[in-house]
Structure 1
Amino acid sequence: MKVLITAGASGIGRAMAEAFDAEGADVWVTDVDKKALANLPAHWGAADVDASNEAAMADFFAELEARWGRLDVLCANAGIAGPTAPVEEIALADWQRCVSVNLEGAFLAARYATPIMKTALSGSIVLTSSTAGQYGYPFRAPYAAAKWAVIGLMKTLAMELGPYGIRANAICPGAVEGERMEGVLAREALAKGMTRDAVYQGYASGTSMRSFVTAEDVANMAVFLGSDKARLVSGQVIAVDGHTENPDPKV
């Protein structure tokens, strides 16, 4: 199995790469974090590619096709948190950058992976959305808008590519333990005049399981969606979030 993970050098993407590797897959990751790329296992493929840069993505996929000849699983995982602020304080440039990475990065990955998968009449595309793609999130307008759009993209891919044996699904992580979420907590605490711990508890108490999730929890779902065990699972929005009940964290 040949698997590509965008933004795969750290966080959820790294966990996905490790999980597929453990299943015996050949793994290639792209990222813009050169330091993280340098610390990947030697037997993984690694490339410094901005997922929102069309020329860079086109060149990378040409290399991938020349080297591998096929692609079984695409995990379009690239994303950034974007600004945390009231909508009237969000600069258009910050909005555009957030949407570019989260939405256009997913589109470009799917756009260049699709011809390779069509040749084989098989493949699985897994897009990383978010519970922000299922609910409105105060102070996170660009991120929520982009993640909702990712789900619309996935639904369209599933319908369009199903006749070629290609499946498409979206994973919606909830609050994921780790460095990125810590940054979100800090910014949201500042925007709402709350403490970091109060925001953390608000997220956790907003789930029926009263818990954050781990990157490994998300990765396990990606492996399932990429496997033959999910051969008829397509067009689905699957939350890995401990069941979010209240998407607006409060004290």
Structure 2
Amino acid sequence: MSRVLITAGASGIGLAMARAFADRGDEVWVTDVDAVALEALPEGITGRHCDAVDEPRLVEVMGEVGALDVLCANAGIAGPTAKVEDVDLADWRGCVSVNLEGAFLAAKHALGPMKVAGQGAVVFTSSTAGQFGYPNRAPYSAAKWAIIGLMKTVAMEAGPFGVRANAICPGAVEGPRMEGVLAREAAAKGMTRDQVYDGYAAGTSMRSFVEAEDIAQMAVFLASDAARMVSGQVIAVDGHTENPDPKV
């Protein structure tokens, strides 16, 4: 049984990860800013209220959890939908802070005990936006590219201590967050929600969005002994993104 901590684990991809690890018998903890979602966590998953960039609170929670076997640095927000010249600096900073600094802080405070233990796995949630870039999503894309650099550095630094690090790049994932993205892009482009949806789906070779459970199963694999020699890798779970500019 592994001890697992998932940031932003009370809904969406994070909750799917939490359920997947719990299903294999792990001790699962999640942090989230959504108090209502934390109250509704399934039995067997322990939740704590914590903002991804609240370092003192994160340290407090990690002290309660104890030495981790698996960290899923999953916290993120979509950020603004606008062309670069129209992005407000405060919105840029808010998006980059949660997506990048949140991942950094989680890794920062998990790695020391993992190195002492001589084992551990860190799974970062990046995005296909961190592989290709996306129009009208500059802050999000920049942060997700940076997560890949952070992950590869963690893999290099922690590998000699038996600790692995990898990044998952989800594509368009069914769920409330993506619905918000679709609505904002539809408004910005003068299109309908369904037209934008179809444009995203048409940009993949499998012509489909992915499910949160698809991401969760990859996280479980990367944290398992079956992936004991997989580290420093960027793995897309996206139905193969062919066209990063979703158009109809």
Q: Tell me if TM exceeds 0.5.
A: yes
TM-score w.r.t. structure 1 length? 0.97
Query: Aligned ranges for residues 1-251 of structure 1 at < 5 Å?
Result: 1-65=2-66, 70-251=67-248
Matched position secondary structure for 1:213: coil
Task: Write the distance in 2 (CA, Å) between the matches of 1:169 and 1:190.
Answer: 35
C-alpha displacement at 1:41, in angstroms? 2.2
In structure 1, how many angstroms separate the alpha carbons of the residues matched to 2:95 and 2:124?
16
Aligned-partner SS, 2:244:
coil
Q: Which segments of 5 or more consecutive residues in structure 1 lack a partner in the other structure?
A: none
**What amino acid sits opposite 1:21 in the alignment?**
A
Amino acid of the structure 1 residue aligned with 2:43: A
Q: Equivalents in 2 of 1:214, 1:155: separation in Å?
A: 26
Letter in 1 for 2:117: A
Give deviations 1:99-155, integer Å, cap 9, x for gaps. 000000000000000011112100000000000000120000000000000000000
| Partner SS, residue 140 of structure 2 | helix
Gaps of 5+ in 2: none
Aligned residues: 247
Query: Distance in 2 between the 1:233 and 1:130 partners?
Result: 19
> In structure 1, how many angstroms separate the alpha carbons of the residues matched to 2:83 and 2:159?
40
Supply the distance in 1 between the matched residues of 2:132 and 2:21 (Cα, whole angstroms). 30
How many percent of aligned residue pairs carry the same amino acid? Answer: 72
Q: TM-score, normalised by structure 2?
A: 0.98
Q: Distance in 1 between matches of 2:139 and 2:44?
A: 37
SS of equivalent to 1:183: helix
Deviation (angstroms), 1:86: 1.3
The residue type equivalent to 1:53 in the other structure is D
Counterpart Cα distance in 1 of 2:155 and 2:228: 13
Deviation at 1:43, TM superposition (A): 2.3
